[in-house]
Structure 1
Amino acid sequence: MSGGLELRVDPPVAPLWQRRAITVRGAAPGALVTIRATTRRSGGDWAAQASYLADADGRIDLDRDAPVSGDFRTADAMGLCWAQRREPGTSGPAEPLDVGESLVTRLHAREEPGTGLPELGDTGARGAEAHAELVQQLLVPGVERRELRHDGLVGTLFRPTGPGPFPTAIVLNGSGGGINEARAAQYAARGIQALALGYFRAPGLPEYLSRTPLEYFERAIEFVRDGLDPAGGAPIVTGQSRGGELSLLLAARFPERILAIAGFVPGAYVFGAQGAADPAEGWDGPSWTHGGEPLEHLWHDNAEVEWQPWNDEPPPTRHADVYVDGLRDRRLALASRIPIERFAGPVAFVSGLDDRAWPSSGASRMALASLARHGHRAERLHLDYEDAGHGIGLPHLPSTDIERVHPVSGVRYSNGGTPRGNARAGADSFEQICAFIHRAAAA
């Protein structure tokens, strides 16, 4: 702090999911104060900046006061986190790669010289500066992290503090593959035992999604049931994108072994391997097998599909949608539909109304409608967010990376949504899905 300006973060150190209060005191009355937030990530710095108008007492509350200029224009202290973009020379994702390292955001506040209430008759702000840090913990104190390499399973287990038994979730990534340790670690910070399970693009596993055996997940379910003492006697399966599709598929295939599912931006049909395909198989090769046989999927010799977007092929018209075209092959749609009505447990879906990767909102509604038609009696929760797209991630991480390059195929695509819409969906859905998991385990 210098020149009387004070910048405060409360609390300065906390789990990633926790909101912070950010305030400024000691500014010249009516002065413009610019706050810049910079976070070092694996590929370099990400930053966001916004300018605020101090009140007559020289104070700013970022949850009360909207910026007058900058990278976001809404009263939200966490905007300095979710509105961040890559600085020049930075590459790589915003998502944390190492949960053992906290994210440290450096905040710098500066009065804009000469600004302030002109009727006071003085020289106005003199350019005072202040600094603070905001630390986001991925792995909170007391949570145990343990790598799993058992019976061919590859993942990481996060166990909360305490004796248990705990609600227990199997956390599945999407078409980028890998092991979603960051989400599992945040669940553990909320009293949920979480197994982040890899199924491709992880050590010792295939590089591609193509022909992934469902028996692999069957073994994971039994590992949780027999070895982890899950509250309620069985795991909750939760996944994102292809992992969301997989959550529905596992619930339909093994309905008695799963307690509940929570699908983030899911599909309601079995799809081909698409952008995560082994090049030797192609986009229209199978994603999943069972008993050594491929599961029927919507792209298998679909009579109504004459184009596909997973190799940068442009759509034939502005409104073309391969997910709509595919459903016109009625025989194949029936054969590839996931019969979620076989599952009697609690179901939650998180989707974005502006999902540009695939129609997760429509898929969620289709699945919920099927459950309702078949007399499903357990909880059905649908969190469907306006201005959110396919990239509904963890709370308070940058949500600006909307136009992306697929990590497997290298093809450019859009997740859709707006930074603000995606950020709100990420924060709200995390809270609501944590509560859903606890309710499901206690039922």
Structure 2
Amino acid sequence: MLSITPADALIDVPRRIAVDGLAPGEEIEVVSCTLRGPGVPWRAAARFVADASGTVDLQRDAPVSGSYDGVSAMGLVWSQVPDTPGAREPFGAEPGAALRTDITVLRADGAVLQGGFVQRLAGKGVTRREVREDGLVGTLYLPAGPGPHPAVMILNGSGGGINEPRAALYASHGYAAFALAYFKAPGLSDYISATKLEYFETALAWLHRTVQPARGFVALSGQSRGGELVLLLGTLFPESVSAVIGYVPGAVVHCAQNACDPALGREGPAWIFRGQPLPHVWEHNRTATWAPWDEGPEPRRHAAALLTALQDPDAVERARIRVERIRGPVMLLSATDDGSWPSSLYSRMVTERLAQFGHPHAVTHLDFEGAGHSILFPYVPTTQLGYAHLVSGRRSTTGGTPAHNAHADEASWQGVLRFLSDSWRHHP
């Protein structure tokens, strides 16, 4: 008998996959398959040996061979690889859609057991609303119940677009979640270049006015360039921001880089505020060079070029984000093998500056050993380390290993939920 529990739950809930009634010492193969993105099958497989009672339990047993090593209840999810080479989208084609994973057990005598489970991004009663007002482009997910609810605004990185999966999951945990696009979405620029920060001022005002969050609590959650951005917004609009969550964030203002408008170039400004470009780390930098990125060995690591820019202390100081102006708790999630930029170093720079200025609120830094740039949330595939950038098309690696990235996905999300709960509980 194949049992999978729970069969239908949120995506961040681990499942118990077990097979009973086998012969002691019997070897079986367990195969997973999930349709992701535009209907691309992603698969993983592993072989297990039944214990003396004829049971295989993936929460307890390590495979003897297969797609992953060691004990991992959800190893057959995070170790999946796509049938179509280069596919990267781990979610469904429809925004916030649930994912079904089919599990097949193959026995040596040819017998087949089949089952499956559903991973939901949006829990029961969560609602979705497209936002196209005040010049904003985004999607609002609201939890079940009348509210008011504490709120989170979610910002993507240099790939642009609207991060609906994370917003749906935040809403499933009780937060009014506003996934806001700022480029590469309908009606917006295709590039990060010269993004006006007043756009986010408008978004924060809209969120406070329209959602009316409980006790005025609005956290910012951003990833990569979005991580840089949420720290920056916390300094520019501190009265509107209650807490900041930076996934693999930057500690300095960067130029447009890979998401640039080709007409303006990668050293052109990313951020414009009150009509003026913000000073960025590549500007008047005496040590910065793109050579480690442009000419480096495959797989190329964008972080190698950014490290050259950090060798000019004057340029770093001019571009440093003044995080001491943030008026709330700060959480940083970083990775020691980040191939996109040095998020571990950047996060330490932020925590050191907050300590230097005696930041009166909680500061949490989770630094994941051996993980790479792509820290998401639990139980999605972590195998696609190389990729072509969504804007520039240039190929690079995010770094890390599938197993380390899977651990970072799980532990980071648990940490974020604790951080938000604590921040909300202590918010005046």
Report the TM-score when normalising by structure 2.
0.95
**Residue 306 (structure 2) aligns with:** 323
**Residue 314 (structure 1) aligns with:** 296
8 Å CA contact 2:301, 2:397 repeated in 1: no
- AA matched with 1:83: S
Q: Distance in 2 between matches of 1:379 and 1:327?
A: 27
Q: Distance in 2 between matches of 1:301 and 1:347?
A: 30
Structure 1 outlier segments of 4+, above 4 Å? 317-320
Q: 1:294 to 1:321 in 2, by over 3 A?
A: same
**Residue 268 (structure 2) aligns with:** 285
**Residue 150 (structure 2) aligns with:** 167
Alignment of 1:372-387 (within 5 A): 372-387=355-370
- AA matched with 1:217: F
Q: Give the CA RMSD over aligned residues.
A: 1.9
Q: Distance in 1 between matches of 2:31 and 2:301?
A: 39
Task: Identify which range, 98-107 or 55-64, moves more after superposition.
Answer: 98-107
**Residue 119 (structure 1) aligns with:** none
Give unpaired runs (5+ residues) of structure 2. none
Deviation at 1:309, TM superposition (A): 5.7
Q: Distance in 2 between matches of 1:372 and 1:306?
A: 31
Q: Distance in 1 between matches of 2:172 and 2:339?
A: 31
Q: Distance in 2 between matches of 1:379 and 1:358?
A: 25
Deviation at 1:140, TM superposition (A): 2.2
**Residue 65 (structure 2) aligns with:** 69
- Residue 138 of structure 2 is aligned with which of 137, 143, 155? 155
**Residue 183 (structure 2) aligns with:** 200
Q: Distance in 2 between matches of 1:274 and 1:433?
A: 28
> Would you say 1:36 and 2:31 are equivalent positions?
yes
> Would you say 1:364 and 2:347 are equivalent positions?
yes
Q: Secondary structure at the match of 1:381?
A: strand
Deviation at 1:423, TM superposition (A): 1.0
> Would you say 1:226 and 2:190 are equivalent positions?
no
Please give the per-residue CA displacement for 1:21-69, whole angstroms capped at 9, x wherever unaligned.
1100111210111000011112411000011010111101101000000
> Would you say 1:81 and 2:73 are equivalent positions?
no
Give the structure with higher Rg (CA).
1
**Residue 106 (structure 2) aligns with:** 110
Q: 1:180 to 1:318 in 2, by over 3 A?
A: closer
Q: Distance in 2 between matches of 1:200 and 1:153?
A: 11
Q: Distance in 1 between matches of 2:307 and 2:97?
A: 43
8 Å CA contact 1:96, 1:182 repeated in 2: no
Q: Distance in 2 between matches of 1:61 and 1:381?
A: 35
Deviation at 1:292, TM superposition (A): 1.5
**Residue 343 (structure 1) aligns with:** 326
Aligned length: 424
Give unpaired runs (5+ residues) of structure 1. 1-5, 114-125
Please give the per-residue CA displacement for 1:218-270, whole angstroms capped at 9, x wherever unaligned.
01111112221212314101100000000110111112221000000000000
Q: 1:402 to 1:90 in 2, by over 3 A?
A: closer
Deviation at 1:320, TM superposition (A): 8.9
> Would you say 1:296 and 2:291 are equivalent positions?
no
- AA matched with 2:409: G
8 Å CA contact 1:395, 1:423 repeated in 2: yes
Report the TM-score when normalising by structure 1.
0.92
**Residue 224 (structure 2) aligns with:** 241
**Residue 10 (structure 2) aligns with:** 15
Please give the per-residue CA displacement for 1:266-314, whole angstroms capped at 9, x wherever unaligned.
000000011100001111110000012111101124221233566x433
